[in-house]
C-alpha cells in the first residue's frame, strides 16, 4: 500500500498537480509523526524518526536503512540537516526549542483526543507537508464519514457495545473511542455503568450489561481479559457468533492513521448486527 501511494505521489508531482511542500529532508521527534511520515512520505524524504518506531510493537514495515533512529535529542539531528522537523504538542519540547534556536524549521502538530481535534491535526499536517495524496484522502474520507447522518434513534438500530482493554479498563464519554462507537451507531454501555472517560468493569458487569458487541482493545498478549474471554463460556459465545471487534493498537498512539478504517469497520459491524436481528 505504501509503495502504491508513493507511486501516486510521484506521478502527481511529475504531472504538476501536487506542489511540493518544500521539505525534502523531514525528521520526526514524535512517535505518531514517525508513523505519519513513514506511511505518507516517500522514503527518500525521511532522514530521521524516533527509536520507538523501530520497536516491534510499533513497526509495521521495515524502516529504510538510511533513516536515523533518534532519541529526541537536538544534537542528533544537526548533522542530518533536516529542512522540516515534526514534533507533537507536548513531547520533546527542549529538543524542539533548541533546534528552533539554531534556525531549523520545527512544526508542532497538535495532539488529537477527539474526532474534532483529529480534523484539526490532519489540517495541520497538510499545512506542514503539503497536499500528499494519502493525507488528503484520509482527510476527505474522515470528513465524509462525519457528514453522514446518524442512524435512526431506535434500540434495534443502536446495538449496544462495550470496550474492554488492559486491566478491564473501559472507555466512557469524553474519549475518542466513545465517539467512534456512537458515530458508528452503537450505544456505549460504559455510560450505563457510570463510566466517565476511563473506568473499570468486572466480568460480572460485562455479562449483566449484555452487550451486542464486545470491543477488545490492543493485542491479545497485552491483557488478561482477552485470554479470559476465550475461556469463559458466556464471553466465548460472543467470539463464536462473530460479535467481537478489536480496535487496532495504532488508534491509541496515532489515530490519524487508524480512525477512518475503524469507523468504516464499526459501521459494517453495526449493519451486520442489525441485519441479523
Range list for CATH 3.40.50.1980 in the chain: 21-144, 160-276
Q: Is residue 119 pLDDT above 60, yes or no? A: yes
Q: Which of 167 and 82 is assigned the larger pLDDT? A: 82
pLDDT at res. 157: 67
| pLDDT tier, 59 (very low <50, low <70, confident <90, very high otherwise) | confident
Q: Which of 36 and 59 is assigned the larger pLDDT? A: 36
Considering the chain, what percentage of its residues have pLDDT values greater than 70?
83
pLDDT at res. 154: 46
Contacts 24+ apart (CB under 8 A), 20-25: 20/130, 21/84, 21/128, 21/129, 21/130, 22/83, 22/130, 23/83, 23/84, 23/105, 23/128, 23/129, 23/130, 24/83, 25/80, 25/81, 25/82, 25/83, 25/84
Q: Which of 44 and 223 is assigned the larger pLDDT? A: 44
Considering the chain, what percentage of its residues have pLDDT values greater than 90?
53
Indicate the CATH number for domain 21-144.
Answer: 3.40.50.1980
Summary mean pLDDT of the chain: 83
Looking at 97-101, 216-220, 226-230, which range is the least confident one?
226-230
pLDDT at res. 48: 97
Q: What is the mean pLDDT of residues 154-179?
A: 83
- Tracing cell 521527534 back to the chain, one arrives at 29
Q: How far is CA 149 from CA 96, 154, 188, 207, 275, in A?
A: 41, 14, 18, 31, 19
pLDDT at res. 195: 85
pLDDT at res. 150: 59
pLDDT at res. 225: 53
| pLDDT tier, 242 (very low <50, low <70, confident <90, very high otherwise) | confident
CA distance 236 to 10: 48
Single pTM value for the model: 0.81
Q: Is residue 29 pLDDT above 70, yes or no? A: yes
Q: What is the mean pLDDT of residues 163-167?
A: 83
Q: Is residue 16 pLDDT above 70, yes or no? A: no
Per-residue pLDDT of 83-107, as tens digits, reads 999 999 888 889 999 999 999 999 9
Q: Which of 243 and 11 is assigned the larger pLDDT? A: 243
Query: Which homologous superfamily does the CATH classification assign to the domain defined by 160-276?
Result: Nitrogenase molybdenum iron protein domain (3.40.50.1980)
pLDDT at res. 107: 95
| pLDDT tier, 227 (very low <50, low <70, confident <90, very high otherwise) | low
Amino acid at each position: 500500500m505504501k509503495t502504491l501511494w508513493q507511486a501516486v505521489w510521484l506521478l502527481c508531482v511529475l504531472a504538476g498537480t501536487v506542489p511540493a511542500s518544500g521539505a525534502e529532508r523531514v525528521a520526526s521527534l514524535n512517535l505518531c509523526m514517525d508513523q505519519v511520515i513513514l506511511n505518507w512520505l516517500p522514503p527518500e524524504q525521511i532522514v530521521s524518526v524516533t527509536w520507538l518506531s523501530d520497536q516491534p510493537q510499533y513497526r509495521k514495515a521495515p524502516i529504510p536503512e538510511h533513516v536515523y533512529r533518534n532519541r529526541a535529542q537536538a544534537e542528533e539531528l544537526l548533522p542530518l540537516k533536516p529542512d522540516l522537523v515534526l514534533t507533537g504538542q507536548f513531547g520533546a519540547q527542549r529538543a524542539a526549542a533548541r533546534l528552533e534556536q539554531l534556525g531549523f524549521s520545527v512544526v508542532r502538530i497538535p495532539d488529537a483526543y477527539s474526532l474534532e481535534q483529529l480534523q484539526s491535526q490532519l489540517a495541520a499536517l497538510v499545512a506542514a507537508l503539503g497536499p500528499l495524496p494519502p493525507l488528503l484522502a484520509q482527510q476527505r474520507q474522515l470528513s465524509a464519514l462525519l457528514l453522514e447522518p446518524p442512524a435512526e434513534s431506535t434500540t434495534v438500530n443502536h446495538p449496544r457495545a462495550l470496550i474492554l482493554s488492559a486491566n478491564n479498563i473501559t472507555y466512557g464519554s469524553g474519549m475518542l473511542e466513545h465517539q467512534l462507537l456512537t458515530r458508528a451507531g452503537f450505544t456505549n454501555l460504559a455510560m450505563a455503568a457510570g463510566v466517565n472517560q476511563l473506568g473499570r468493569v468486572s466480568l460480572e458487569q460485562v455479562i449483566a450489561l449484555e452487550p451486542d458487541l464486545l470491543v477488545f482493545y490492543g493485542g491479545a498478549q497485552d491483557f488478561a481479559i482477552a485470554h479470559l474471554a476465550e475461556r469463559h463460556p458466556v464471553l466465548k459465545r460472543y467470539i463464536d457468533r462473530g460479535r467481537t471487534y478489536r480496535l487496532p493498537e495504532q488508534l491509541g498512539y496515532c489515530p490519524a492513521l487508524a480512525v477512518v478504517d475503524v469507523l468504516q469497520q464499526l459501521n459494517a459491524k453495526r449493519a451486520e448486527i442489525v441485519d441479523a436481528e
